Amino acid sequence: MDTAAAPSSLFAPAPGASAKPRLVLPPYPRGILPRPYPRALLAVRCAHSRAPPPPPPLPRADDSEGAAAGAHPRLRLRRLAEEFRALPSDADRQRRLLSLASALPRLPEPDRVPGNRVMGCVARVWLAVRPDGGGRMRFAADSDSELSRGYCACLVAALDGTTPEEVLAVDPADPGLAPLGAGMTAAPSRASTWHNVLVAMQKRARVAIAAREGRQPGEPFPSLVISRDGALRAQGSYAEAQAMFLSPNESKVSELVNILTEKKIGVVAHFYMDPEVQGILTAAKKQWPHIHISDSLVMADSAVKMAEAGCDYITVLGVDFMSENVRAILDQARFNKVGVYRMSSEQIGCSLADAASSSEYTHFLREASGSYPSLHVIYINTSLETKAHAHELVPTITCTSSNVVPTILQAFAQIPDLTVWYGPDSYMGANIADLFQRMATMSDEEIAKIHRDHNRKSISSLLPHLHYYQDGNCMVHDMFGHEVVEKIKEQYCDAFLTAHFEVPGEMFSLAMEAKPRGMGVVGSTQNILDFIKDHLKGALDRNVDEHLQFVLGTESGMITSIVAAVRELFDLYSSSQEIANIEVEIVFPVSSDAVSKTSTNGSHHLGSSVASDLDNLTVVPGVSSSEGCSIHGGCASCPYMKMNTLGSLLKICHQLPDRDNKLSLYEARRFNVKTPLGKSVAEVGCEPILHMRHFQATKRLSDKLVHQVVHGNGEEPS
């Protein structure tokens, strides 16, 4: 026996064109399926047997022979996909991938470097690109997984030697290519390699076009890198401002802990707090357990637990509707004597909550009340008064960005002929409609994984019965617009993309397109945090050198919780086997043209409610004031949230108990007023929240809510 020579380089010369490289892939003989021998055995043959003739190569972009040679890369990929589709089983397709992998030469060690790693793949995958002097892309790829190498072989065969424009013309979401990607159900954990390598190739193609046109690479977004030892590396002035407070002043931490402990004060704060405040609170929590940082839904629940544990006061770091909700929920839980304080004597507003209290929103609700049967699904980020008035007009259930989709799907499944009215966030409403339209193109099996009582027919039938309010936006998420999205496509298309459900449609679509390949998430702040943690856990389990880059498509105040979670995971794994060099980079998609003063005409292109909010601010936070916000591009920080300062928190804590009534303007509002139907605003306003809590616990709408939708709010179920 002897051993056949293995290919020595990635590019083999094509017949009659020695200067032109060509990747030779073995053909799949008609009717014969290869057996999955180990690689060590694939190159062994009998010394007395005749060597088989060399297999014909797949057509290449730069070949001059054959009708298929000049085919567009999309066509070549489609033909390859058709070949995979024609195979009788996933096991056969998997064997075909392994046969292709055997023909792909190994990438030289100098090219197996971190800068050539493809993010998002379960296995390690490298992609190297070299110019050929003729304006064509020369790709080489490799992986430590044979299945991933097979995917790499497919893409290199189709795209090596093409122009940058041809590479960009291939749509990763093209359903005709499904057998090469998501359709490969026998190896789902490796199928993302197909999409991620293609996206990485397209990023390199954009760089090549920019270089050809003489365009300088754009300035990257600011970012913060967290290394394995927990150290921070800030890139850009905005990131430096964020990092400044992630190692808090110990004397401030001690001062806060002492006063909270002495006076039994609990603290509930939103993720979007100022980094300085969050840094102090995160450190203080290690010594005083009654501190909780979360999204708005959990804040009130945490306050109740603190009251049950003996806290006499609750300080709320958020906007006014959050402190109102905390006050109302505590009263419902019969903790009326527990004081609730907010952080400013002035109004701490919210552009989204204000939109829901407008006359236009009331008109939207009156239109809903004329349609039978109707359910109003209202975002939790609205005032208690708004919820109460809405519930008297139309049966109402509260939702969050993480449960809005299952809430609406369950409502349609549970109540025949229902019409759903969602508000007030216009972008979230549009994104929900977009999501359902995408679902209408999915198979029944795929839809059933999302909601077991739905299929293509039911999803298609509910689309005309879903309405959303179209003039209410969060002033932060409103600014993740076209300019920011284009820069993400150009420079960060191969990164992990996160997007809050409230972002504009372009940013939503970008994250949704990345989601099937494991590179995107759309949801709440907690969903985003969990997504980052899950991918870091995967990298720590693999324990290989890795750089994970996440684009933070929400308010930048989340960075404190992200850094704390990342450091906690690093510490948890620090006692394990030899530690690999793993880094997490958080990218802040903020605009470089931040301004410090408002202008009279700078916000004309924004939605009316957002433009009004910006024009009413004396100062629009900019990079110089560490807010990273611009009325011409992107905004990553909420100026209302930043009214919650450390100074205010310490001032209020030191003055408690408020025997001289000096803190009356800081007390959370308690609703003693009545609704138009003569009921308590607090009582009626809490009911949509209780309906949501029932849904979260049971995954069904309560009998009481269903009765209200079918028979009206005035009549109680028997």
**Mind telling me the catalytic residues?**
121
Q: How far apart are CA 628 and CA 635, in angstroms?
A: 6
Nearest CA among 470, 473, 503, 504 for reference residue 360: 470
Half-sphere exposure of 641 (CA within 13 A, CB side): 23
β-partners of residue 143 are 125
Burial profile 407-440: b = 16 or more Cβ within 10 angstroms, e = fewer: bbbbbbbebeebbbbbbbbbbbbbbbbebbeebb
Contact 8, 105 (CB under 8 A): yes
CB atoms within 10 A of CB 214: 6
Per-residue DSSP letter, 348: -
Nearest CA among 349, 351, 407, 358 for reference residue 378: 407
Half-sphere exposure of 389 (CA within 13 A, CB side): 18
Contact 589, 239 (CB under 8 A): no
Q: Is 664 exposed, middle or buried (0-12, 13-18, 19+ CB in 10 A)?
A: exposed
CB atoms within 10 A of CB 631: 25
Backbone angles phi, psi at 213, to 5 degrees: -85, 0
Q: How far apart are CA 283 and CA 255, in angstroms?
A: 12
Nearest CA among 309, 310, 275, 311 for reference residue 293: 275
Q: Across the chain, which distance is largest between two alpha carbons, in Å?
A: 104
Q: How far apart are CA 583 and CA 229, in angstroms?
A: 9
Its sign, for the CA torsion 323, 324, 326, 331, is: positive
List the strands of the sheet with 582-587, edge to edge.
232-235, 223-226, 582-587, 546-553, 496-500, 520-523
Structure tokens, 199: 């996206």
Nearest CA among 120, 114, 118, 115 for reference residue 535: 120
Contact 628, 635 (CB under 8 A): yes
How does DSSP assign 643-698, residue by residue? Answer: G--HHHHHHHHHH-S-TT-TTGGGBPP----B-TTS-BHHHHHHHHHHHHHHHHHH
Task: Identify the three-state secondary structure at position 627.
Answer: coil
Q: Is 394 exposed, middle or buried (0-12, 13-18, 19+ CB in 10 A)?
A: buried
Contact 566, 226 (CB under 8 A): yes
Burial profile 62-98: b = 16 or more Cβ within 10 angstroms, e = fewer: bbeeeeeeebebbebbbebbebbeebeebebbbbbbb
**Residue 589: left (phi > 0), alpha (psi -120 to 50), or beta?**
beta
105 Cβ contact partners less than 8 Å away, ≥ 6 residues apart: 6, 7, 8, 9, 10
Its sign, for the CA torsion 455, 458, 460, 464, is: negative
578 Cβ contact partners less than 8 Å away, ≥ 6 residues apart: 543
Nearest CA among 466, 454, 281, 461 for reference residue 368: 466
